[in-house]
Amino acid sequence: MTILVTGGAGYIGSHAVRQLRAEGRDVVVLDSLERGDRDALLGAPFVQGDISDSSLVAEVCREHGVDSVIHFAAYKSVGESMTDPAKYWRNNVQGTVDLLEGMLAADVRRIVFSSSAAVYGNPDSLPIREDAPLRTENVYAETKAVMERVIHWYGQTHGVRWASLRYFNAAGASSDGVLGENWDMSTNLLPLVMKAALGASGPVKVFGDDYPTPDGTGVRDYIHVEDLAIAHSKAIEHLDAGRESITLNLGTGRGVSVMEIIRATENTLGRAVPYQVVDRRLGDPATVYADSRLANSVLDWRAKKGLLEIVDSLIRRYNEHREQHESTES
């Protein structure tokens, strides 16, 4: 009863691997390490390789007695997906087909998939429910929507059972500061705010302060990465119990503005966050937040952490690494 975790050396995957192992589950990680960190595996069983290698996937499944897969491995940069779309169709979409073929060769028919709230684009109504229309606005989002359909059709043609989890904005680090996002590679708002606050970059850019929101800045649903990790374990339980395939939003159900994040960071750190208001970005919705009631009722899951826990965990992670760095130097 082992879970194959693709992309388990990445930001969200490494938190999920840690959560699953803490619950006593057996895992094996398959990651190319192209955008992941081997240290983030914290000693979990690991195979370096690509999901597009179906034979390797089948071999890993057989050797480790895999019975379900959590599929994080993908590229996730919206900007890069628009400048180099072929890379995204190949890695995200074709990679998922290859992964599924490898799973089937080893008779593995359960998959939890990392989808994204990006599939909704600019929503008609809030909070966003799972049955809202999909309006992808970039290649990355479209690959996620297509990957969902590919998995759905493997359900129809080959009896694969699946849970597609549409994450809203993943944020934060592990509460003990051990794991966290690589700030050098991230274009997410929280790391950018932290870097600006700590003087590691120039002012953080605020894209528009004239949206129809309480303070004029964009509103999103930031979900703590440890809450996300727990949801994956519950999704595996759902499939293990033989229950039906399902698409679920994972968010807090609460919208937080860019300025609220800046203020919360300032209050916690006790210093100003330099920022600069610039023009809106094309296609950015004013407000996005989830209706997560379905995940609550189906998985008995709800996000427990909010903005303060997210900011606190990032500061703890920063301090943890700064101390490690200083002790190596001395």
Ligand X SMILES: NC(=O)c1ccc[n+]([C@@H]2O[C@H](COP(=O)([O-])OP(=O)(O)OC[C@H]3O[C@@H](n4cnc5c(N)ncnc54)[C@H](O)[C@@H]3O)[C@@H](O)[C@H]2O)c1
Catalytic residue positions?
Answer: 140
Return the SS3 of 249: strand
Nearer to ligand X by C-beta: 63 or 210?
63
Strand partners for 219 = 257, 287
- Contact segment (CB under 6 A) with ligand X among 44-52, 229-237, 251-259, 262-270 equals 44-52
301 is a site residue for ligand X (CB under 6 A): no
- Contact segment (CB under 6 A) with ligand X among 73-81, 259-267, 280-288, 297-305 equals 73-81
Contact string (CB under 6 A) for ligand X, positions 84-123, x = contact: -------x---x------------------x-x-------
Q: Output the CA–CA distances (angstroms, integers) from residue 14 to 72, 148, 231, 272, in the order listed.
A: 10, 22, 14, 31
Structure-token pair, residue 252: 């807090």
Return the SS3 of 208: coil
Distance (Å, whole) CA 76 – CA 14: 16
Q: What residues between 154 and 173 interact with ligand X by CB under 6 A? A: 167, 169-170
Distance (Å, whole) CA 315 – CA 202: 18
191 is a site residue for ligand X (CB under 6 A): no
Nearest approach in angstroms of CB 49 to ligand X is 7
Nearer to ligand X by C-beta: 17 or 197?
17
12 is a site residue for ligand X (CB under 6 A): yes
Nearest approach in angstroms of CB 111 to ligand X is 13
Distance (Å, whole) CA 257 – CA 253: 13
Nearest approach in angstroms of CB 277 to ligand X is 23
Cα 132 to chain centroid, rounded: 20
321 is a site residue for ligand X (CB under 6 A): no
- Amino acid code (one letter) for 231: A
- Amino acid code (one letter) for 250: L
Distance (Å, whole) CA 211 – CA 214: 9
10 is a site residue for ligand X (CB under 6 A): yes
Q: Which residues contact 83 (CB under 8 A, 6 or more apart)?
A: none
| Spatial contact of 16 and 229, defined as CB atoms under 8 Å apart | yes
52 is a site residue for ligand X (CB under 6 A): yes
Nearest approach in angstroms of CB 113 to ligand X is 8
Nearer to ligand X by C-beta: 175 or 277?
175
265 is a site residue for ligand X (CB under 6 A): no
148 is a site residue for ligand X (CB under 6 A): no
- Taken in order 126, 74, 11, 218, the sign of the CA dihedral is negative
Nearest approach in angstroms of CB 168 to ligand X is 7
Structure-token pair, residue 148: 């969902």
219 is a site residue for ligand X (CB under 6 A): no
Structure-token pair, residue 168: 């809203």
Residues that bind ligand X (CB under 6 A): 6-7, 9-13, 31-36, 50-52, 72-74, 76, 91, 95, 114, 116, 167, 169-170
